[in-house]
Structure formats: structure tokens, C-alpha cells
Amino acid sequence: MLLKDKVAVIHGGGGAIGSVVAKAFAHEGAKVYLAGRTLVRVDAVAREITNAGGFARAAQVDALDQRAVNGYIADVVKDAGRVDISFTAIGIPQEGMQGTALLEVSTENFMKPIQTYTKSYFITSTAAARQMVKQRSGVILVHTPEVSRLGIAFSEGMALSWAAMEALTRNLSAELAQFGLRAVTLRSTGLPETPTIDLVYSQHAKALGITKEQFQAFLETMNHIRRSTTLKEVADAAVWAVSDRASSMTAATLNLTGGTVVDW
């Protein structure tokens, strides 16, 4: 098991990405602590993990509430003794967040994802990092889509929020690697398996005057493998990224875009 006895905290653990990654972590031996704004969702994921023989506990925590997050990390440390992994995978409702021209989008809708995603990532990562500095080890992980690097019409403030998260990952590493911490981003294509991307693709398609299926097909022609990243591929990469096998990787982005973004 790659993550045997590791302690993982996942914010947004009831969502499509957070839940799949949580299950993958648990399958590899990690003790998983799931946090989310809706207890019933994270509790359902925790029950699924425990029913499969893994360890999981759920808690209702708002990732935008710094006091609540700090208290939650303290509770995890009290219960488990440490925090080895912090993964932030929160989401926000996408109505009005994409599919509108920059010259027409409201300032409120433009700023909402920037403020929400960057604030939550800052709060959750720094809360975990304070404990990781004490124990001289730990991994901070976050997920972003390919729009963080590409200029795609009608993405509004979402692209800026994801680019900022990647920048924060690099800065976390720059300041904290000396204390044994690593910070890594997983960058994928959109994930059509998730309800969020289903809605997002519909918004973009409407703005372009095409169908959702045509929009997805267009995106998939932009990469080398001619398909979208899968949730399983994201989860598999997450497991490796936070394991000791990736011990030299920090300030880095794992490129899971299938060639949509070409690194050099």
C-alpha cells in the first residue's frame, strides 16, 4: 500500500473529485478525514469507505471559515496524531460563472470564483501546513483544469482562480519545502463524468451556438489522446503524488491533460 498509515484531510470530500480521491487514498491504506459544507454528502462517502474496509471520518466544515478549518485540523491531529496530506477539492455552483462574454459578465460573478477558490485553498493549505511544519513532513495537493494555462473564451473568472491556485502551490513550496513539505497541483482536462462539467460544457456550448456534445468533441480534438481525462486517472495520479515515491516532486504540476497543455 502506497499510503499505509498516512493521514489525509480532504476538503470537498463529498464532491465528485474529492470523493473519488478519498476512496483511492483509503484503498492505499490512508486514514481519510473528509470535510465539507454538507455533512450528509461527506458522511455518505465515509460510510462507503468504511464499508469497504477502510478508515474514514466525516465532519461538516466550511473551507472559507478560517477558524473552523483551523479547529478541524486541530481535531484531526488530536484524533490521529498528525496530518500527512491535505487535498482541497471544493466546488461552487457554476450558474453564471462561465458562458458569458467578459464584456457582459458582472463584476460579482467575475470575482466570485477568484475569491472563493483562492481563499479556500489558502485557508486549508496553511492550516495543514502549520501542523506539517511541526512534524517536518507533509504534502499539500490541489486540482485545477487546463483552463489555468489556456486562453478559452467565456471562462470568465474561473481561469484566473485556477491560475492563482497553481501560483500559490509554487509559493507554498518555495517557503515550506525547507521544512519537509511538498506542494503539488494536478492539472487535468475538464471531467465530463462530473455534474459540474456537464453544466459548464452546456454553458459554453450555448454561448457558441453548438451542442454540449459538439463542444466536448471540439475540446477533445485539442489534445493528443483525443479524449478527456477520467476521474480514475486523477485519483491514480493523486495517490502517486502524495506517496513517498514522489518525494522529490514539489512546486510542480502533474500534467494530466493528454497533451492539451504541452509542457517544456
Instruction: Check residue 149 and give its pLDDT.
Output: 87
Res 24 pLDDT > 70: yes
Instruction: Check residue 160 and give its pLDDT.
Output: 92
pLDDT in tens, 79-126: 999 999 999 999 876 676 677 888 988 999 999 999 999 999 999 999
Instruction: Check residue 258 and give its pLDDT.
Output: 95
Instruction: Check residue 96 and give its pLDDT.
Output: 66
Mean pLDDT of 64-72: 98
Instruction: Check residue 97 and give its pLDDT.
Output: 64
pTM for the whole thing?
0.94
Q: Where exactly are the structural domains of the chain?
A: 7-190+230-256
Instruction: Check residue 247 and give its pLDDT.
Output: 97
Distance CA 19, CA 33 (A): 11
pLDDT in tens, 176-217: 999 999 999 999 999 999 888 888 888 888 888 999 899 899
Instruction: Check residue 99 and give its pLDDT.
Output: 77
H-helix or E-strand spanning residue 167:
helix 157-176
Neighbours of 5 (CB within 10 A): 12
Distance CA 139, CA 156 (A): 30
Res 131 pLDDT > 90: yes
Instruction: Check residue 182 and give its pLDDT.
Output: 98
pLDDT in tens, 25-59: 999 999 999 999 999 999 999 999 999 999 999 99
Which class for 4: exposed (0-12), middle (13-18), buried (19 or more C-beta within 10 A)? Answer: exposed
Mean pLDDT of 216-221: 90
Which class for 17: exposed (0-12), middle (13-18), buried (19 or more C-beta within 10 A)? Answer: buried
User: Which three-class secondary structure state does DSSP give residue 189?
Assistant: coil
The average confidence (pLDDT) of the chain is 94
Pair 58, 31: CB distance under 8 Å: no
Q: Give the Cα-Cα-Cα angle 256, 261, 264 (nearest 5 degrees).
A: 100
Distance CA 50, CA 1 (A): 17
H-helix or E-strand spanning residue 120:
helix 107-135
Distances, alpha carbon 105 to alpha carbons 33, 95, 108, 145, 210, in Å: 37, 12, 8, 21, 20
Q: How confident is the model at residue 157 (pLDDT cuts 50, 70, 90)?
A: confident
Q: Say which CATH architecture domain 7-190+230-256 belongs to.
A: 3-Layer(aba) Sandwich (3.40)
Res 163 pLDDT > 70: yes
